[in-house]
Chain A
Amino acid sequence: MLTQLLLQVVVAVSILLSVALAGVVGRDRLSLLREEWRSRLRTSAPAIALLLAILLLNRIMRQQGRSLSQDYGIHMTEVFYTIEGEFVLLFQAIASPEANTYFSISYVYGYVFLLIFPVVAYAARSKTIDFRRLLIAYSLNYAIGLVFYILFIAYGPRNVFVEELTQTMLYDNSPQYKYLTTEVNRNTNVFPSLHTSLSATVATFAYQTRSTYPRWFPIAVCLSISIMISTMYLGIHWGIDVLAGLALAGFCVSLSTYLVDRWSLTAILEQVRKRLHEYRDTVTTASQENS
């Protein structure tokens, strides 16, 4: 079940990617990337390592976080429900089988595409700054999300409004997706919506780089808005989760701009080496004096 579904996602996203890369990034940039990828990778190594480490941590905490969360987490379902009531049910006004298909595809396939495309697209620019900023912003989103998930235990609207959401609930129409999402996430991880924060992060980057990739900007905006609506339409997130996701995105994008190029890793290493030398020198001089 799971492997079959994963394969479907990989194939679909690959097709989307190749079409979009050809149309948005263009042949010249891509062939230049083929020649220069080694050096660009070297410059961006710290950001890549950071993202990989955070993703790994995320993976580990999916199991370990459960018990941490049980010991220290605060139950929030009732609070969210009390604050926003039946807000997410507003989206039921546009419910239809076509909307179900559209939002399910946006939520699963669209989201994966939206996250991967800019990674390749920014790697294809000779300036690596946006590439590194993006990876740092992704890392921040995941890292902060992880902390929130441990602290706040909440179930999404589909677990409260069963009857009202029956027609649009993702897992009713396509139970197979449940294998995928339980593999990636736990059902109490709803606040904030990482689908929202990462989509908004990508959309903001698309805005900032619209002069380089003018075609990407409208695509990214449409897709990320669809994904945000889909999280509520499909009964996965509360409105509050989406708001928090937007706030998280804003924070992560600003922080990534602030952090990138602030410290150079090679400079830090150089500094450490120098200090070590100085230390060794003082030690040796001291011992010589003593002898």
Chain B
Amino acid sequence: MNSPPDESDESAEGISRRAMLAAGATGLSVGASGCINRVQSVVDPDSSTGMAVSILTLPGADGDREGAQIARHLEENLRSVGVNATINTRSRSELLKTVLLEQDFDIYVGRHPADFNPDFLYEALHSTYAYESGWQNPFKFMDPSFDGEVRFMDPSFDGALERQRTVEGAEREEAIAELLWRFALNQPFIPVCIPNEYRLVQTDRFSGWEDGHLATRLGYLGLEPAANVEQLHALITDARPTRNLNPLSATARERGTITDLLYDSLATYEETDDDSESNLRPWLAADWDWDGSTATIELREDCTFHNGDPLTAQDVKFTYRFLADTTLGRAPEASPAPRYRGQVAAIDSITVEDDYRLTISASTSPEVGERAFTVPILPRRIWSERVDRRVTGNDEFSPPQGTWSLVTANNIPPVGSGPFQFADRSEGEFLLLERFEDHFSVGTDDVPEPTVPELRLEVDPGTASSIDRIASGGADMTTARLETYALGGISDDDPVERVEDTSWTFYHIGFNTLKEPFSNPRFRRAVARLVDKGWITETIFNGHARPVAAPVAEKWTPDSDSEIDSLVWEDKDPVTPFLGTDGELDVKDARDLFAEDYEYDDSGNLLR
């Protein structure tokens, strides 16, 4: 078992195409990243000492039990191979701040919001975003290898990310397969598993829970309340929504369920069967029509924001311009929002035809371009005034991108056009929303509407107590995914139901690839082989998760029919299989692997 990771499951046919690709890609990138390493080691005084790694994670018992256990598994195995690993605990917002905005980390364990479409990888990994703050490329990943000789269609990692955005159909599937292979060989982050999304709902007061995905707006609309039920009482285990409702904030949320309720977007996600072309249906847009890469969009007429201002095509155009540059051109350099970067980048230009009609020209295929239709539409008047207020005098105005006050402010009360509007909140306790009576869905038959006057989101300390509370009739639903440790506490006797929705968010171990030794893809792959994803899903998630080598839905994962090799999980990771069995590391094999690139001192510590 001394062989490099990519050759460990080699077939008898000799060196396969995969191994050649791997050798080519990593060899070149190691060479190039060497330059970066040398620059760093001049700066870093500890460069000849033992390797120390800090693993950033959420608090286990009070935040994310599964994530903290993954961190601990990694910590123990890193220690076994002679790396001085420690665990560093942060709250949800501080973890995101440290990783996304400050880039002050070595390794973190977290859950990525991802997307139903694998195009989210473009935002997560494209090198043009390596210098920005926010959800765009927090790994600072750059793969400088330019592999002209063999065999991937695209000569570079960036090229692969870009190509899947323009091609369609079977060609796109192949492009994604290739991208995922490049990803697996590079491991800018280690994808661990996709946990099942369970929520607990009570069935006496409401029915219709199965209709919409409960992490999206449709999940909260069209529910059927029993007679005299005036409020949907949801439990949240994350207090951030009571403190910050800024749709641009990078740290206030992983996924935007509440933003979805307060704001409308042109299109909305809808659960469909796997074979359908698109998961998006018109929402604020009454309809759209693609001609090549240009979409003509008809807005629903007479929509207003919660403050009574009319919502027109001008607001839509403004939103995309503003997200691309939150200073609206006032600063020497554009300051893109720390969110929605990949979506907005798909749009080349927007022309307003009249109040309710606009054309959007995309730089991508319609399928990818439509992802841009899911961003929240913001009221132009309010946000442009906010920019004006912040531009003072004649001094040069250059706010720090991703962290300036406009994108971090709490935005309370939020003014959107969505089906619910802000009513009240108490920090750390609750957020109260009320039905927006002028919303286009209210009183119509063609789209689901808010069916109760109030939606109360109340902070509860954890999954176990949330389950108790819903079972005893103290609340109607959990908004967060149930942690698997507490699933056994659900009783069949109570009027409750465990609802499952499609899952695409995944647990991952992210590297700061600007830092040595994480800049070395061979090191990252070796670390990936210390993680037993199969054991993690079985023991930490009690089987309620799917271990993955590719962080995308099953239908996008290249299988044995693919021209390139399969990345389907079959009892082990096809590229970075665990060095051991049942969560127990084979320490000798693992140390041998690390010894290929790094040295050990006499007491067995791995040196940088």
Q: Do A and B bind each other?
A: yes
Interface residue ranges, A against B (CB under 8 Å): 1, 63, 70, 75, 77-78, 81-82, 154-156, 158-163, 165-166, 169, 171-172, 175-176, 178-179, 182, 187-188, 235
Contacts of A77 in B (CB 8 A): 87-89
Interface residue ranges, B against A (CB under 8 Å): 54, 59-63, 65, 68-69, 72, 86-91, 94, 427-428, 461-462, 464-465, 468-469, 474, 485, 540
Query: Quick check: A169 and B61 within 8 Å, CB to CB?
Result: yes
Contacts of B54 in A (CB 8 A): 78
A176 to B489, CA, bound (A): 13
With beta carbons under 8 angstroms apart, the residue of A81, A176, A178 that contacts B87 is A81
Contacts of A160 in B (CB 8 A): 60, 68, 72, 87, 89
Q: Smallest CB–CB gap between A105 and chain B, Å? A: 19
Which 6 interchain pairs have the tightest Cβ spacing?
Answer: A159-B59, A162-B60, A178-B461, A158-B61, A175-B465, A175-B464
B52's closest neighbor in chain A, by CB?
A: A82
A78 to B106, CA, bound (A): 13
Query: Quick check: B62 and A159 within 8 Å, CB to CB?
Result: yes
With beta carbons under 8 angstroms apart, the residue of A81, A82, A155 that contacts B59 is A155
A187 to B62, CA, bound (A): 8
Known contacts A63-B427, A159-B89; A176 and B465 CB within 8 A of each other: yes
Contacts of A155 in B (CB 8 A): 59, 62, 89
A77 to B58, CA, bound (A): 11
Query: Quick check: B88 and A175 within 8 Å, CB to CB?
Result: no
Among B63, B69, B87, B540, the one with the most A-chain Cβ atoms within 10 Å of its Cβ is B87
Residue contacts A-B, CB under 8 angstroms, 8 given: A75-B90, A78-B87, A158-B62, A161-B60, A162-B65, A162-B72, A163-B540, A178-B462
A161 to B60, CA, bound (A): 8
Query: Quick check: A175 and B462 within 8 Å, CB to CB?
Result: yes
Contacts of A75 in B (CB 8 A): 88-90
With beta carbons under 8 angstroms apart, the residue of A1, A63, A78, A169 that contacts B89 is A78
Query: Quick check: A176 and B89 within 8 Å, CB to CB?
Result: no
Contacts of B462 in A (CB 8 A): 171, 175, 178
A171 to B469, CA, bound (A): 14
Q: Smallest CB–CB gap between B250 and chain A, Å? A: 16
Q: Smallest CB–CB gap between A119 and chain B, Å? A: 30
A138 to B65, CA, bound (A): 35
Among A158, A162, A165, A166, the one with the most B-chain Cβ atoms within 10 Å of its Cβ is A162
With beta carbons under 8 angstroms apart, the residue of A70, A81, A159, A176 that contacts B60 is A159
Known contacts A159-B61, A163-B69, A187-B59; A1 and B87 CB within 8 A of each other: no
Contacts of B94 in A (CB 8 A): 70
Given contacts A1-B474, A159-B63, 9 further A-B contacts (CB under 8 A): A77-B89, A82-B86, A159-B68, A162-B72, A165-B61, A166-B485, A171-B464, A172-B485, A179-B461
Contacts of A166 in B (CB 8 A): 485
Contacts of A171 in B (CB 8 A): 61, 461-462, 464-465
Contacts of B91 in A (CB 8 A): 188
B97's closest neighbor in chain A, by CB?
A: A70
Among B61, B69, B72, B469, the one with the most A-chain Cβ atoms within 10 Å of its Cβ is B61
A166 to B90, CA, bound (A): 20
A155 to B62, CA, bound (A): 9
A188 to B94, CA, bound (A): 13
A282 to B511, CA, bound (A): 75
Query: Quick check: A162 and B465 within 8 Å, CB to CB?
Result: no
A82 to B87, CA, bound (A): 9
A162 to B89, CA, bound (A): 13
Query: Quick check: B72 and A161 within 8 Å, CB to CB?
Result: yes
A126 to B72, CA, bound (A): 57
A160 to B56, CA, bound (A): 11
Q: Smallest CB–CB gap between B329 and chain A, Å? A: 32
A163's closest neighbor in chain B, by CB?
A: B69
A235 to B65, CA, bound (A): 14
Query: Quick check: B89 and A175 within 8 Å, CB to CB?
Result: no
Query: Quick check: A162 and B69 within 8 Å, CB to CB?
Result: yes
A82 to B54, CA, bound (A): 11
Q: Smallest CB–CB gap between A204 and chain B, Å? A: 32
Query: Quick check: A81 and B427 within 8 Å, CB to CB?
Result: no
Contacts of B427 in A (CB 8 A): 63
Q: Smallest CB–CB gap between A21 and chain B, Å? A: 34
A189 to B162, CA, bound (A): 47
A161 to B65, CA, bound (A): 10
A78's closest neighbor in chain B, by CB?
A: B88
Query: Quick check: A162 and B61 within 8 Å, CB to CB?
Result: yes
Q: Smallest CB–CB gap between A138 and chain B, Å? A: 26
Known contacts A160-B89, A162-B69; A235 and B461 CB within 8 A of each other: no
Contacts of B68 in A (CB 8 A): 159-160, 162
Contacts of B461 in A (CB 8 A): 171, 175, 178-179, 182
A154 to B87, CA, bound (A): 12
Query: Quick check: A158 and B60 within 8 Å, CB to CB?
Result: yes
Contacts of B69 in A (CB 8 A): 162-163
Q: Smallest CB–CB gap between A79 and chain B, Å? A: 9
Query: Quick check: A1 and B469 within 8 Å, CB to CB?
Result: yes
Query: Quick check: B468 and A163 within 8 Å, CB to CB?
Result: no
A171 to B59, CA, bound (A): 14
A159 to B465, CA, bound (A): 17
Q: Smallest CB–CB gap between A73 and chain B, Å? A: 10
Q: Smallest CB–CB gap between B458 and chain A, Å? A: 11
Among B65, B69, B461, B474, the one with the most A-chain Cβ atoms within 10 Å of its Cβ is B461
B426's closest neighbor in chain A, by CB?
A: A63
Contacts of B464 in A (CB 8 A): 171-172, 175
B461's closest neighbor in chain A, by CB?
A: A178
Q: Smallest CB–CB gap between B85 and chain A, Å? A: 10
B469's closest neighbor in chain A, by CB?
A: A1
Contacts of B72 in A (CB 8 A): 160-163
With beta carbons under 8 angstroms apart, the residue of B61, B86, B87, B540 that contacts A235 is B61
A165's closest neighbor in chain B, by CB?
A: B61
Q: Smallest CB–CB gap between A114 and chain B, Å? A: 25
B67's closest neighbor in chain A, by CB?
A: A162
Q: Smallest CB–CB gap between B66 and chain A, Å? A: 9
A151 to B338, CA, bound (A): 30
Q: Smallest CB–CB gap between B100 and chain A, Å? A: 16
Contacts of A188 in B (CB 8 A): 91
Contacts of A179 in B (CB 8 A): 461, 465
A192 to B24, CA, bound (A): 55
Contacts of A235 in B (CB 8 A): 61
B65's closest neighbor in chain A, by CB?
A: A162
B61's closest neighbor in chain A, by CB?
A: A158
A185 to B97, CA, bound (A): 24
Query: Quick check: A81 and B61 within 8 Å, CB to CB?
Result: no
Q: Smallest CB–CB gap between A72 and chain B, Å? A: 14
Query: Quick check: B61 and A63 within 8 Å, CB to CB?
Result: no
Q: Smallest CB–CB gap between A167 and chain B, Å? A: 12
Q: Smallest CB–CB gap between A188 and chain B, Å? A: 8
Q: Smallest CB–CB gap between B407 and chain A, Å? A: 17
A179 to B68, CA, bound (A): 22
A86 to B476, CA, bound (A): 40
